[in-house]
């Protein structure tokens, strides 16, 4: 989606209004929105740690060394090379490698490093030896920002006006960990971004682009199929088998590439990027929802209202024609696989990292909640309150990303810098109060009624 498309997204939908104050320019709003979006990265523009240096190292190996063998690369990093990021240079980092036969292979998916490799190859050509932090962070920011704009337009179509769409978009993005993870070079932000951009392309009738983006989501991490499959089922139900066939080329191409890669790298066809160790699903489910270090609800409290939207599901028309049903299916599939994994916490990371891609599915029930209850002051106030609290949580993480990253508990995150937390609450309150009207005036060219 290019610059013109982004502007169209700000102009196409909107609520009626009368003449009024000066209309802000869409370009100005886009700039301000991007700066807010980029805040978690701009506050500390560097790869933090966890899996990021390893993904960066594999990206460099593909782009520059033309190999999948990382043994020499790890040794270069220990000797001072910055190819895994500035922070990792000169340090010993664990080898994220596993032994298959006589080979030591990377234990993470190869799709993300392959996608980012052209950018790192260009960096190596222009500035040999330069760290990839800005390039890789900027790539994530660009992809997720386009997805944020696409998501705003999709929500505006569901709700019918730009003001309500701005409120729900703020709830889904800026008051959940989606915002923080826009600064990371992990697979999770790319999965949800490619998936959402694919849906946007479907809405625009750009089926080949949708096929490419959904295929990219799957190749980024194999589990993305848990989100794509319900979407394909919905397209089949609403648009017919012919449109499903239009979506098929790139997912099928990437599936074939996945099998070939497995055969060449691992010596067998069906291999997951890491062995899937089944844990206790009950413990994993409770923890994935409520854990104070990695639980979805503590770090994104507004999602409780999404569950209310699903609990009160009353499909419009035929049950299987309601997008809320397919959003629930996508969420449950992702949640079930995550909760059943022995490592449901996702290792050292901020909040519920592994659940981040599933958060986009909650936009549909949140829209449903808003449509049903926004006219009731108590329900509207609850929505605003949870959005502001969630914004303050993400604000704290975004302004101190290094401190937030290493499995910090939510109480510690909020109490470590109380003034910053209060600032987040105040800023969140201002945004949820004034941003909807500003966006409405920008999209309609007039003051909101």
Q: What is the pLDDT of residues 49-108, one digit of tens each?
A: 889 999 999 999 999 999 989 999 999 999 999 999 999 999 999 999 988 777 888 999
230 secondary structure, DSSP code: H
Q: Over 70: is that where the pLDDT of 4 sits?
A: no
447-448 and 17-18: which strand pairing? antiparallel
Give the model's confidence band at 315: pLDDT under 50 very low, under 70 low, under 90 confident, else very high.
low
pLDDT at 11 over 90: no
**Average confidence score pLDDT of the chain:** 90
Q: Which sign does the torsion angle of CA 117, 119, 121, 127 carry? A: negative
CA 79 to chain centre: 34
- Which tens digit of pLDDT belongs to each residue from 393-421? 999 999 999 989 887 899 999 999 999 99
Percent of the chain with pLDDT over 70: 93
Question: Read out DSSP for 260-291?
Answer: HHHHHHHSSS---SS---B--HHHHHHHHHH-
Calculate what percentage of the chain has a pLDDT beyond 90: 76
pLDDT tens for 358-381 read 999 999 999 999 999 999 999 999
**What is the phi/psi pair of residue 194, to 5°?**
-60, -40
Q: Is the pLDDT of residue 192 over 90?
A: yes
Position 317 pLDDT exceeds 70? no
For residues 174 and 384, is the Cβ–Cβ distance under 8 A?
no
- For 356, the token pair is 């981040």
Residue 48 has pLDDT above 70, yes or no: yes
**C-alpha 194, offset from chain centre:** 9
With a cut of 90, say whether residue 321 has pLDDT above it. Answer: no
Show the tokens assigned to 133.
Answer: 């932090």
121 neighbors 63 (Cβ within 8 angstroms): yes
First to last CA, the chain: 31
Average pLDDT over residues 441-445: 74
Does position 442 have pLDDT exceeding 90, yes or no? no
pLDDT band at 262 (very low <50, low <70, confident <90, very high): confident
pTM beyond 0.85: the answer is yes
Query: 96-105, 150-159, 198-207: which has the minimum mean pLDDT?
Result: 96-105
pLDDT value of position 255 = 87
* Lookup: tokens for 274: 């890491």
| Confidence grade of residue 26 (pLDDT, cut at 50, 70, 90) | confident
Domain boundaries, the chain: 3-44+138-448, 52-131
In this prediction, residue 257 has a pLDDT band, given cuts at 50, 70 and 90, of confident
Give 165's pLDDT tier (boundaries 50, 70, 90): very high
For residue 15, the model assigns a pLDDT of 39
Q: What is the pLDDT of residue 207?
A: 96
Of 16-20, 45-49, 267-271, give the lowest mean pLDDT range. Answer: 16-20
């Amino acid at each position: 989606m290019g610059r013109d498309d982004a502007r169209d997204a700000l102009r196409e939908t909107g609520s009626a209004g009368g003449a009024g104050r000066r209309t802000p320019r869409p370009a100005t709003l886009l700039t301000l929105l991007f700066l807010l979006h980029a805040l978690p990265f701009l506050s500390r523009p560097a790869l933090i740690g966890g899996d990021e240096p390893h993904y960066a190292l594999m990206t460099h190996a593909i782009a520059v060394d033309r190999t999948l063998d990382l043994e020499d690369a790890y040794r270069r990093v220990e000797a001072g090379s910055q190819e895994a990021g500035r922070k990792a240079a000169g340090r010993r980092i664990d080898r994220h490698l596993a032994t298959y036969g006589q080979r030591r292979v990377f234990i993470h998916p190869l799709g993300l490093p392959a996608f980012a490799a052209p950018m790192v190859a260009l960096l190596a050509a222009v500035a040999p030896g330069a760290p990839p932090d800005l390039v890789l962070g900027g790539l994530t920011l660009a992809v997720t920002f386009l997805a944020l704009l696409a998501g705003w337009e999709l929500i505006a179509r569901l709700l019918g006006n730009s003001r309500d769409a701005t409120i729900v978009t703020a709830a889904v993005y800026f008051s959940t960990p989606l915002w923080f993870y826009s600064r990371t070079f992990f697979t999770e932000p790319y999965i949800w971004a490619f998936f959402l951009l694919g849906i946007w392309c479907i809405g625009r009738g750009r089926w080949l682009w949708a096929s490419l983006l959904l295929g990219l989501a799957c190749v980024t991490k194999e589990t993305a199929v848990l989100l794509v499959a319900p979407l394909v089922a919905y397209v089949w139900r609403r648009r017919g088998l012919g449109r499903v066939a239009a979506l098929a080329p790139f997912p099928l191409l990437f599936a074939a590439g996945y099998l070939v890669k497995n055969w060449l790298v691992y010596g067998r066809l069906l291999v997951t990027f890491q062995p899937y160790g089944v844990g206790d699903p009950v413990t994993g489910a409770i923890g994935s929802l409520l854990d104070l270090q990695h639980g979805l609800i503590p770090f994104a409290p507004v999602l409780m209202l999404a569950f209310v939207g699903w609990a009160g599901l009353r499909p419009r028309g035929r049950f299987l024609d309601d997008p809320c049903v397919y959003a629930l299916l996508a969420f449950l599939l992702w949640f079930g696989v995550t909760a059943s994994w022995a490592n449901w916490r996702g290792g050292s990371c901020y909040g519920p990292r592994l659940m981040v891609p599933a958060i986009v599915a909650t936009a549909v029930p949140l829209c449903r909640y808003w449509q049903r209850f926004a006219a009731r002051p108590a329900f509207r106030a609850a929505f605003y309150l949870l959005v502001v609290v969630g914004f303050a949580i993400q604000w704290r993480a975004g302004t101190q990303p290094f401190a937030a990253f290493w499995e910090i508990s939510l109480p510690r995150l909020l109490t470590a810098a109380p003034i910053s937390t209060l600032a987040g609450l105040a800023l969140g309150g201002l945004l949820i109060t004034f941003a909807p009207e500003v966006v409405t005036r920008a999209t309609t060219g007039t003051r909101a009624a």
